Every structure is written in structure tokens, then in C-alpha cells.
Amino acid sequence: MEAAIRRAIQPDNQPHPLPFVPVEDAKDDMQPIISSPSFGEDEESPFRETPEEQPRKPFIEANTKQVSLYHLKNDCITPVFSKDNEVTISHNQFIETMWECAQRMFRGDTVDNPEIRVSHIVKGRTPEAIHKAVHELTDADKTIYYERMMFCIEIPSVTETIDRCRLNLTIGGVRAYNQENLYSKKGFEKFKVFIGFKNMVCCNMCVATDGVAEEIRVTNTQELTAKITELVVSYNAKRHLERMRALLDTSMSESQFAQLVGKARLYQFLPPAQRKLLPEFEFTDCHLNTIARAYYNDPAFACDKQGEIDLWRVFNLFTGANKSSYIDSFLTRSRNAMVFADGLAKALAGEKEYSWFVE
């Protein structure tokens, strides 16, 4: 991508088993650099190379479009807080900060350029063009920025295969100006960051609870760097992969899947007191329509001829349907898909917490 992103930044150590091992050659005054993932001599790495390359698909669709970092830096204005005219942290600053962290933390690994999706364009005019008719406006008269932005950065050299699906380690973030009070003075700004795996069969995003920070509050890019580092170091990639692979061990019949879809539709209409007793379920009827259609027709994750489907494929039906979510709700549903798939496995094994969805 554009040359403007050629820079780098940091991380830290953790007492419990991590997918990353710090190295001690950091020369900056930040935190220790993290090398590429490594494991003890007796511990097998959960990451293995798979040679085949998969065709690219968007990781989120909905009402988004793909843009370049150059476009965000050079063609878009940056909103300010109206009461003190202090500038916000721009989309491109957020992306560059994350990209620099990835370059430093995964030194020696391949770090791809960011893939950026945006939505909700906000248009304006320069002061000189206030009185011009619309058809008279030139590009120089127009201003734009995007209210919502999501990006991901793949580390394709850190990879694993589950049921013939190549999973690449991926980090990224979400920024939504609609969640900021731009009419006040500058204070803490909100960001969402994540680390997980992208399924290269369909480019579905797979994240676990410890791989998502749904509300980071910072005032500058240095604090943002520290929060990104904290998330990446605390993320247990090995455990995440084990949880996803374990989904292969449990299957649903066609009638059980139909029961799941029906109960999921009823969930939002339950009396509030009853719904509070059940686990969170973040997907809507629109998502469930997509899931039901894909159950029969998805080329990679549909049921077999007998209507049986394992929970790994069910999980991917949910993450695939999540592509139709708006940017600002995407990560919440991504996290919920993993938690919900785990819960279904336990319910089918006889545990009670998620049993309402399948009984």
C-alpha cells in the first residue's frame, strides 16, 4: 500500500501461557518488542503453513466500500471537537498506529497492508463554495469524511488449518465517529480493536472474547499503542484455535438446526425478565435468514445430504451472516458467534445454560 505507512511500534510480557514470546532487544523507550510466535521445545505450535492461496472476498459487506489509506490521508478531512476545535485521532492515524504495532510485534513475519472498509460518508463544502450550485462544484470545493471505518491487517505467515480451511492471524480495528460527542470538548476518544483469525475460504472473521476490546478510551496515539499492545499480548491464540477445532466434534441434525433457528427468532420477542435469564444472542432475523439459506446452499459450510452439520460449519454460517452487519456492531456479533457456538456444543452435550435454543 502507500509509502506513508512505512513505520513501527511495541508490546509486553504476561505470566500465563501466550502465543507470543517477548524478545529483549528493544532499543526504543517503549515496551519490549515481541517476536514472531514461538513455543517451548516440547510444545507443538498450533500454527502450520498451508500452501494454497484463497481468492479474496470482503471481510465485511453491508453498506461498506473499500478505500485506500492514501484516500483517507489525502482526500478526507478530519473532524474536530466543536467546542475547542481540537482535532480527533483520524482514521489513517489509527490504521498507521495498528500497522506499526504489527510490524514491530511480528518482526520476521509477513505483515500485509491494511484492508480498509468505510461507510456513512459525510459530505461538506469549503467556505469558498458555500454559494455555488451543486452542478458547479469541483472536487476542490468538496470535503468528505467517513463516519465509520473498519480495517484488518493479516499476518499470513502465522496460520493454521481447520477442516481444510486456512486461517490467517489478523488484527484490526473499528472507529465510529457516531459514538463520539463531537459537539463537546476533546476528551477520551473511543476505539475498538481485535486480534483473531480470518478464514481464507470465505474471509469470515473469527474472534474470541480475549481477542476483542470493544471500547478503548484514549487521548492520543501513544495511549492507543499501549492498549493495542495490551490486547495482543493477552490474546491466547492457541486456546482460540483449540476452541474452534473442538467444534468439529459436535454435530446437529436437521431438526435440531431448525429448532435452533426457530428459537433464535423467538429470542427477541421473549419477555424481558425471561430473556435476562438466557445467554446473549446478538443476531437478528435478517442474519438468521442468511444462516438458514446457507445451511442448504453454502458451497463450503452447508449441511451434508442427511442434513447433519457440525458446529464448526454452524459457526462459519454465523460469521458469514455477520458480514451484513454495520461496521459499529460487527465485532460484538463476531465475539458472540464464538461464545454462542461454544454454548451450543455444551447444550448438545447435556449442559443447561444454552439448552433453551435446542430443546
* Per-residue confidence (pLDDT) for residue 200, from 0 to 100: 94
**DSSP 8-state class, residue 247:** G
Interior/surface letters 227-250, b for 16+ CB within 10 angstroms, e for the rest: bbbbbbbebbbbebbebbeebeeb
C-alpha cell at 126: 469549503
Please tell me the distance from the alpha carbon of residue 104 to that of residue 226, in angstroms, as a whole number: 13
The alpha carbon of 294 is separated from its chain's Cα centroid by a whole number of angstroms, namely 21
Q: Please, where are the H alpha helices in the chain?
A: 69-74, 91-105, 221-234, 237-246, 254-267, 272-275, 285-297, 311-321, 327-348
Please tell me the distance from the alpha carbon of residue 80 to that of residue 88, in angstroms, as a whole number: 5
Query: Domain extents for the chain?
Result: 3-13+52-235, 250-357
Q: Which of 58, 115, 88, 44 is nearest to 176 (CA)?
A: 88
* Per-residue confidence (pLDDT) for residue 16, from 0 to 100: 36
Low-confidence ranges of the chain (pLDDT < 70): 1-55
* 158 φ, ψ (degrees, to nearest 5): -105, 105
* Per-residue confidence (pLDDT) for residue 55, from 0 to 100: 54
H helix or E strand, kind and range, residue 197: strand 189-199
For 110-161, how does the pLDDT look when each residue is reduced to its tens digit (9 = 90+)?
999 999 999 999 999 988 888 989 988 898 899 999 999 999 999 999 999 9
CB 41 within 8 A of CB 136: no
CB 223 within 8 A of CB 201: no
Distances (CA, A) of 260 to 199, 275, 284, 299, 332: 24, 16, 13, 21, 20
pTM: 0.84
Helix, strand, coil content of the chain in percent (nearest 5)? 40, 20, 40
* Per-residue confidence (pLDDT) for residue 333, from 0 to 100: 97
